[in-house]
DNA sequence: GTCTATAGAATGATAGAC
DNA sequence: GTCTATCATTCTATAGAC
């Protein structure tokens, strides 16, 4: 005997899976295009064309352009969270300075990897847009996770953290603005880490 | 007896002066509006309205919207040049670390003073726009001047300079993004200066 | 869920009268 | 030099047929 609730629920799930898959394709297309035009140049028509749809069909998957930006913003921070987890696992048995240097280098490369992602996460590149509360909550969560990992690497307390974020984000910004495909500032990561840790030690004294 | 060439030339000059004055008013209006909407949100119609003109009249003073951006970009760098000259005169008799700390603090405040100026000078906030060769040349000149002044403050050589620009621009970026009207990162300027100079000393050894 | 058609509102820029 | 009128384009978003 058929279990209709089961069948119904699995049919719903299949439909939802298809829905989510299309959403995924739209997001991928949006990232691809934003990489070329800059995040502020993203156009829904072009996103639709990239996935082989007409523009109004996108509204089945995202309520508005702002909602698409929200999804991209949150996704960026989730990817950052995953990356941070990988990095900290990876540097577990290094000396503190080497560990922090590696993390800073990987951080710069994370920013460099997708300039559109960098723009939506860390700059105010989109006129009139800011993340919704929900999207902002994701960023706050991931930021706190990163802060906890940094604490383990010797960057502790709000002042240390503010100086660290300034240095790390500054290296990334210079890298992207002046040498987007190179490593001119990535190479400075070990020096920057050493500099930060020495300064923290000095201030502890 | 009238000197017509003189008269002609002074009439021309008067007309040009008036032209330049209107240009000045347009630029001021553009800065004012860009401060509110972000540099990427600037609209020629609104600029015209702000100066009491119709939009097409702007084309007597600027060939295109991009030309207006060029003028703003170059003006930003000229202002930076002037500011740097003031700062270095101002810190002439301080200890090296205090001098550099003061300069970094003033630099952050320069960025904070006009976010529109910060955006057009240091970020790629305008989709599809980049400075013309002429405008870029202005920025290169002023940048080299700043580099020369920094050398006098103990930041010498390309590696020092890259690290300095990363730290200084990072502090400014964090200040603008997270505390645009406050001084949370400005307060870190002395620490950052001391940190940079200590690290430079360490690397010299 | 996808489409066509279109609303409705901006935009930068040009033509040509005055 | 300034204006009105307008071109030509682009955009997000909605209505409604299928």
CATH of the domain at A148: 1.10.357.10
Which tokens hold the place of A124?
């105010």
Residue A132 lies in a domain: yes
Average pLDDT score over residue span A140-162: 96
d(CA A203, CA B142): 35
The confidence band for B7, taking pLDDT boundaries of 50, 70 and 90, is: low
Q: Which nucleotide is nearest to B48 (CA to C1')?
A: D2
**C-alpha distances in Å from residue A63, one per residue of A12, A69, B107:** 21, 11, 42
Question: What is the nearest nucleotide to A56, using C1' and CA?
Answer: D13
Record the tokens describing residue B30, joined without a space: 């553009």
Which residues in chain B are closer than 8 Å to A177, comparing Cβ atoms?
A: 122-124
Judge whether B187 and A162 are in contact, CB under 8 Å.
no
* B60 sits within 7 Å of strand D by its CB: yes
Q: How many CA atoms lie within 13 A of B49 on its CB side?
A: 6
Determine the pLDDT at residue A52: 98
**Looking at strand C, which nucleotides approach a protein CB closer than 7 A?**
1-5, 10-16
Q: Is A124 on the interface with B (CB under 8 A)?
A: yes
- The total of other beta-carbon atoms located within 10 Å of residue B177's CB is 15
Smallest CA-to-CA distance from A194 within B157, B164, B100, B202 is with B202
For position B68, what pLDDT does the model report? 98
| B204: three-class secondary structure by DSSP | helix
How distant is the Cα of B23 from the closest Cα of chain A, in angstroms? 26
Which of A124, A179, A203 to mutate against chain B (most B CBs within 10 Å)?
A124
> How far away is chain B from the Cα of A11, in angstroms, using its nearest Cα?
44
Closest CA to A30 of A74, A61, A68: A68
Is the pLDDT reported for residue A155 higher than 60? yes
Query: From the CA of A40, how many Å to the C1' of C2?
Result: 27
Q: How far is A16 from chain B (nearest CA, A)?
A: 36
From the CA of A170 to the C1' of C3: give the distance in Å.
47
Span B40-54, average pLDDT? 98
Cβ proximity of B171 and B108 under 8 Å: yes
**Mean pLDDT confidence for A69-81:** 98
Could you tell me if residue A121 is inside a domain?
A: yes
Domain count, chain A: 1
Average pLDDT over residues B180-202: 98
CA distances from A65 to A20, A118, A128 (A): 17, 18, 12
Q: What pLDDT does residue A152 have?
A: 95
Name the band, by pLDDT with cuts 50, 70 and 90, for residue B5. Answer: low
Residue B3's pLDDT band (boundaries 50, 70, 90)? Answer: low
B128 in contact with A, Cβ within 8 Å: yes
With respect to residue B10, please indicate whether it lies within any of the assigned structural domains: no
Going by pLDDT thresholds of 50, 70 and 90, the confidence category of residue A12 is confident
Contact B87, B106 (CB under 8 A): yes
Is the CB of A46 within 7 Å of strand D? Answer: yes
Cβ(A51)–Cβ(A26) below 8 Å: yes
Q: List, for residues B149-165, the tens digit of each pLDDT value.
A: 999 999 999 999 999 99
Q: What pLDDT is recorded for position A199? A: 98
- Mean pLDDT, chain B, integer: 95
Chain D bases closer than 7 A to any CB of the protein: 1-5, 10-16
The reported pLDDT for the residue numbered A20 is 98
Q: Which domain holds residue B105?
A: 64-204
Residue A3: its pLDDT value, please?
A: 53
Q: pLDDT by residue (tens digit) across B97-155?
A: 999 999 999 999 999 999 999 999 999 899 999 999 999 999 999 999 999 999 999 99
Q: A94: left (phi > 0), else alpha (psi -120 to 50), else beta?
A: beta
Q: Is residue A90 situated within a structural domain?
A: yes
- Inside any domain, residue B27: no
What does the pLDDT read at residue B12?
81
B123 at interface of A, judged by CB pairs closer than 8 A: yes
Tokens 């300079």 map to which residue?
Answer: B161
Quick check: A188 and B163 CB within 8 A?
yes
Domain membership flag for residue A192: yes
Cα separation of the two ends of chain A:
76
Mean pLDDT of the A113-133 span:
95
Print burial letters for B60-93: b (CB count within 10 Å at least 16), e (below 16): ebbeebbebbbbbbbbbbebbbebbeebbeebee
Cβ pair A199:B191 closer than 8 A: yes
CA dihedral B191, B192, B194, B200 (to 10 degrees): 160
Q: Is the pLDDT of residue B86 over 80?
A: yes
* Residue A5 falls inside a structural domain: no
| For range B61-68, the mean pLDDT | 98
**8 Å CB contact between B66 and B130:** no
pLDDT for residue A92 is more than 60: yes
Does a structural domain hold residue B16?
Answer: no
CA-to-CA distance for A137 and A96, rounded, in angstroms?
30
Among A35-44, A108-117, B2-11, the range scoring the smallest mean pLDDT is B2-11
- Collect all residues with Cβ–Cβ distance below 8 Å to A98 and sequence separation of at least 6: A91, A190, A193
Q: What is the pLDDT of residue B6?
A: 55
Q: Is B199 in Cβ contact with A194 (below 8 Å)? A: yes
In whole angstroms, how large is the CA radius of gyration of chain B?
21
Q: Is B37 an interface residue toward A (CB < 8 Å)?
A: yes
């Amino acid at each position: 005997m058929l279990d209709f609730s089961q069948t119904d629920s699995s049919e719903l799930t299949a439909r939802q899976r298809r829905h989510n898959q299309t959403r995924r394709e739209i997001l991928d297309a949006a990232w691809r295009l934003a990489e070329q035009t800059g995040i502020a140049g993203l156009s829904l028509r072009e996103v639709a064309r990239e996935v082989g749809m007409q523009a109004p069909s996108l509204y089945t998957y995202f309520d508005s352009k702002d909602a698409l930006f929200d999804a991209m913003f949150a996704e960026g921070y989730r990817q950052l969270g995953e990356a941070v987890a990988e990095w900290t696992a990876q540097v577990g048995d290094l000396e503190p300075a080497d560990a922090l240097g590696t993390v800073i280098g990987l951080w710069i490369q994370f920013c460099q990897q997708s300039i559109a992602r960098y723009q939506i996460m860390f700059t105010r590149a989109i006129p009139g847009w800011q993340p919704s509360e929900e999207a902002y909550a994701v960023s706050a969560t991931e930021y706190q996770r990163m802060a906890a990992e940094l604490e383990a690497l010797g960057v502790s307390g709000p002042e240390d953290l503010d100086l660290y974020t300034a240095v790390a984000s500054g290296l990334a910004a210079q890298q992207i603005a002046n040498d987007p495909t190179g490593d001119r500032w990535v190479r400075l990561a070990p020096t920057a880490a050493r500099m930060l840790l020495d300064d923290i030690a000095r201030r502890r004294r």
